[in-house]
Amino acid sequence: MLPLYLTTGEPAGIGIDITLALAALPFGQRIDRPLVVLADPALMLRRARKLGLDVNLIDYMGQEIPAPIGSLYIRPVPLRVSVVDGQLNPLNAPYVLEQLSVAADACLHGRAAGVVTAPVQKSVINEAGIAFSGHTEYFQERAGVAKVVMMLATRTLRVALATTHLPLRAVPDAITPALLTQILTILIHDLRTKFAIAQPKILVCGLNPHAGEGGYLGREEIEVIEPVLAEFRAQGIDVGHALPADTLFTPRLLKDADAVLAMYHDQGLPVLKALGFGEAVNITLGLPFIRTSVDHGTALDLAGTGRAEAGSLVVAVQLANELANAHL
């Protein structure tokens, strides 16, 4: 039973807090494979004491069963400098990236079933002089794949993004037939192979209000989006016509959909997070391994206070476990 690796992310944020909360999960919420935490043990224990938690850290030595309740498996990664809760320090940027490197290599060399990531602070990594645009891009480069897709999911809704972190004025130029073909190909492939959905049904948002209103509010739907969708339908794939987002995100249409493809970040994700914030999971499609993540940031002001919510991390770990089991 291959383990899942868990990167704890920015050491001054809540990644450590929410990771520690996993040790107390009851049997009904626990996964059936080892979960290996990547962190500095001294940092973990200091934060546990501050939070009033009694957590036993067990060195991971290839164990094939989950850690007992109250315990966590750990693979030590040493901090570069000591941490003040809630205060970023660029000197610890290499510590954050070493976690990602160890986890990615374990997955790529068949020593781990997947990786779950707690949040990082991109700004402080760049402040350290290291070019870093995010987990997704890091794992894409490490795995040597040409394209990946960001998808967020709750228990009832999956939303994939055609474009991610772009200024809104750059989105229309970025949406090309080649991009949409690439995104849909990855989305369909991973829904089939990772989620075991043999014939996925995908709803697609138009770019413009009212999906362009027949060309009066923009022609991207007519000239770019619809021709690509027609090609997939001609292959027998259940991909809908481009719909206005305010029509698409309604219970009547969503109830039979396996995923929604939104054209840009703030078209799809506000709806998903309104429905399931704190229990949503970020999934990277197109990688040769499973990667899930929390749907929130480092919340520096909550680090060490006992007020951080671990719900999203719990769901991210459980989903990674389910996806790994689907590959057995």
What CATH code is carried by the domain that includes residue 252?
3.40.718.10
Shared domain check, 163 and 141? no
Per the annotation, does 296 bind a ligand? no
Q: For 236-261, what is the mean pLDDT?
A: 95
Hey, which residues does 291 pair with through a beta bridge? 115
Are the C-beta atoms of residues 290 and 326 closer than 8 Å to each other? Answer: no
Average pLDDT over residues 260-266: 97
Mean per-residue pLDDT, 7-27: 95
The stretch 47-71 carries a mean pLDDT of 96
Range of the domain at 164: 149-273
pLDDT of residue 279: 80
Flag whether 126 is marked binding: no
Nearest Cα residue to 117 out of 6, 261, 27, 252: 6
Whether 235 has a pLDDT exceeding 90, the answer reads yes
What is the count of structural domains for the chain? 2
Residues 35, 73: contact at Cβ < 8 Å? yes
Residue pair 76/41 in contact (Cβ under 8 Å)? The answer is yes
pLDDT 10s digits, 62-95: 999 999 999 999 999 999 999 999 999 999 999 9
pLDDT at 118 over 90: yes
pLDDT (average), residues 264-283? 89
265 annotated to a ligand binding site = yes
pLDDT at residue 248 is higher than 70? yes
Q: What order of strands is seen across the sheet that includes strand 281-285?
A: 56-59, 71-76, 35-39, 4-7, 114-117, 290-294, 281-285, 149-153, 158-161, 259-262, 201-205, 238-243
Q: Confidence class of residue 26 from pLDDT cuts 50, 70 and 90?
A: confident
pLDDT of residue 1: 87
**C-alpha distance from residue 281 to each of 17, 118, 155, 159, 170 (Å):** 18, 11, 9, 10, 26
The per-residue pLDDT for 328 is 57
Mean pLDDT over the full length of the chain: 95
| 42/76 same-domain check | yes
In a domain, 285, yes or no: no
The model's pTM: 0.92
